Amino acid sequence: MSYKVKDIGLAPRGELLIEWARDHMPVLALIRSRFELEKPLAGVKLGACLHATKETAVLVRTLEAGGAEVALCGSNPLSTHDDVVAALAATGTKVYAWREQTTEEYYWCVNKVIDHGPTITMDDGADLVSTLHSKRTEKLNLVKAGSEETTTGVIRLRAMHRDGALKYPIVAVNDTPTKRMFDNRYGTGQSTIDGILRASSVMLAGKVFVVVGYGWCARGVATRARGMGSHVIVTEVDPMKALEAVMDGFQVMPLMEAAKVGDIFVTVTGDTKVIDEQHIRVMKDGAMLANSGHFNVEINIPALEKLSKGKRRMRPDLDEYQMKNGRKLYLLAEGRLVNLAAAEGHPSEVMDMSFADQALVAEWIQKNKDLKTGVYDVPRDIDEMVSRIKLQSMGVMIDKLTDEQRKYLMSWSQGTV
Ligand SMILES: NC(=O)c1ccc[n+]([C@@H]2O[C@H](COP(=O)([O-])OP(=O)(O)OC[C@H]3O[C@@H](n4cnc5c(N)ncnc54)[C@H](O)[C@@H]3O)[C@@H](O)[C@H]2O)c1
């Protein structure tokens, strides 16, 4: 069978969700119309390991419109939308994904995508690339190039390239301005709050909300939490980011101090054990812990388990831990990306830009015959095109440089007077 999903009967519901997303993704719509005519991806076998959401389905159909044969698996055991993947499977996409997978099931799906023999890979967290490079090397020579969607994946791929382990070129879609400045900041900002609210339904106004990290994603989360009336504390390890947080008006302090006063904690660092045993030990009764970074290692969950004497699932995506010292702490979405596990991930409007980048990068890879192994930036004209179309779709006009201004900005000979 060319798919494995939880329930193919969910397809009609998934189709409606995909239609809703499609109608909020105008940049991708324009690309899809062109792809339908030009078929720039004819002959491409595309292997995608992405969060299997309604927006991803719109991307998959855009790639298929361009002539690609796509195989898709989820990039997280908890982020797949069963109705959406059922709809994709029902219309002929090779899709292997369902919500709540074991680690073995997760990698079984990754391997099914590799069985497809991808010539281009599209990853979110580099699991496809690392499986290809470690356990499925027989398929490596089929791959021409790939792209990577998230910060953590790009970090892993740059490390592979540094060690001489990377065997094919990858475009770092995550790092490009039309992705990082918008998806990471505004997308993660809004959807992380959405995930926390759907999982807990607590009031944010008046709460002490601790954001661990102040990178692109964390900035979005901190700003949105402040907008909801929380008192926001930021913790950082990078002095420049910490300074930025101070000047943006947030209280900054070491996590050990923040741990004693926080009501809600959100990690968004891409790092490991940022909330560790010593922090958990001093947290207040009732404190809630969530993560929006890529992997479920940011909160030391084994330490949380060790310090507790019992655990109950109170609501979907919310577990109560009864601590040995009598307090209760709450973990959201098992410490996995709370915005994707407990909510629907980023809004379609912002994924429109990230996935427009992905579609255009796949086309760019296909057109460029001589890419060498390495980690590439997204070409600047793709970024400019995506922001121009996005502005147009929002009905926003901007000014143009005059010839005189262009000449002035290019010249070095004109001084102060
Ligand atoms: N939830 C989502 O949908 C989503 C979307 C995009 C990216 N991500 C993931 O979110 C994570 C962060 O991405 P980003 O683009 O904001 O990265 P970034 O590099 O811009 O920011 C990470 C920040 O974390 C800080 N940090 C690292 N270790 C820390 C520690 N121990 N304590 C405090 N701060 C620490 C770094 O100094 C840095 O400022 C990555 O794992 C990324 O893959 C998630």
- Going from the Cα of 152 to the center of ligand 1, the distance in angstroms, rounded, reads 8
CATH value at residue 276: 3.40.50.720
- The total of structural domains in the chain comes to 2
Amino acid 90: pLDDT: 98
Same domain, 278 and 295: yes
What is the distance in A from the centroid of ligand 1 to the CA of 151? Answer: 7
- Report if residue 416 sits inside a domain: no
Q: Strand pairing of 318-323 and 308-315? A: antiparallel
* Same structural domain, 319 and 351: no
Q: Whole-angstrom Cα distance, residue 136 to residue 132?
A: 5
Residue 409 belongs to some domain of the structure? no
Same domain, 159 and 234: no
- Strand, coil or helix: 42: coil
266 and 359 in a single domain? The answer is no
What is the distance between the alpha carbons of residues 298 and 314, in angstroms, rounded to a whole number? 22
Query: 71-129 pLDDT, tens per residue?
Result: 999 999 999 999 999 999 999 999 999 999 999 999 999 999 999 999 999 999 999 99
Confirm whether 398 is domain-assigned: no
**Closest ligand 1 atom to 292 CA:** 1
Q: Are 203 and 121 part of one and the same domain?
A: no
Closest-lying ligand 1 atom to the alpha carbon of residue 271: 28
Q: Which residues of the chain fall below pLDDT 50?
A: none
Residue 109 lies in a domain: yes
278 close to 302: Cβ distance less than 8 angstroms: no
Q: Is the CB of 339 under 6 A from ligand 1?
A: yes
Do 71 and 78 meet the contact criterion of CB atoms below 8 Å apart?
no
Q: Do 371 and 309 sit in the same domain of this protein?
A: no
**Residue 242 lies inside a defined structural domain of this protein:** yes
Whether residue 268 has its Cβ less than 6 Å from ligand 1: yes
Give the domain CATH number at 158: 3.40.50.1480
The residue range of the domain holding 192 is 188-341
273 Cβ inside 6 Å of ligand 1: no
Query: Within a domain: residue 154?
Result: yes
Measured in Å, residue 213 CA sits from the centre of ligand 1 at: 6
Is the CB of 267 within 6 Å of ligand 1?
Answer: no
What are the structure tokens assigned to 142, written together?
A: 């089929």
Asked if 169 and 206 sit in the same domain, the reply is no
Helix (H) or strand (E) holding 32: helix 26-38
Ligand 1 in reach of 111 Cβ (< 6 A): no
The answer on 126 and 263 residing in a single domain is no
Please indicate, yes or no, whether residues 295 and 355 belong to a single structural domain of this protein.
no
Clarify whether residues 243 and 294 are in a common domain. yes
- What does the pLDDT read at residue 417? 65
Q: For residue 269, what are the CA distances in angstroms to 241, 251, 291?
A: 12, 18, 9
Torsion, Cα 159 269 50 186, to 10 degrees, reads -130
Atom from ligand 1 closest to the CA of residue 213? 34
User: Do 350 and 287 fall within a single domain?
Assistant: no
**Ligand 1 pocket, residue 366 CB under 6 Å:** no
| pLDDT value at residue 413 | 84
Note the pLDDT tens digit of each residue in 368-397.
988 999 999 999 999 999 999 999 999 999
Q: Is the CB of 290 under 6 A from ligand 1?
A: no
**Which is the closest atom of ligand 1 to the Cα of 219?**
16
Mark whether 263 and 389 lie in a shared domain.
no
The residues near 165 (Cβ < 8 Å, ≥ 6 apart) are 133
Indicate which residue's Cα is closest to atom 6 of ligand 1: 184
Residue 415 lies in a domain: no
pTM over 0.85? The answer is yes
Q: Is residue 404 part of a domain?
A: no
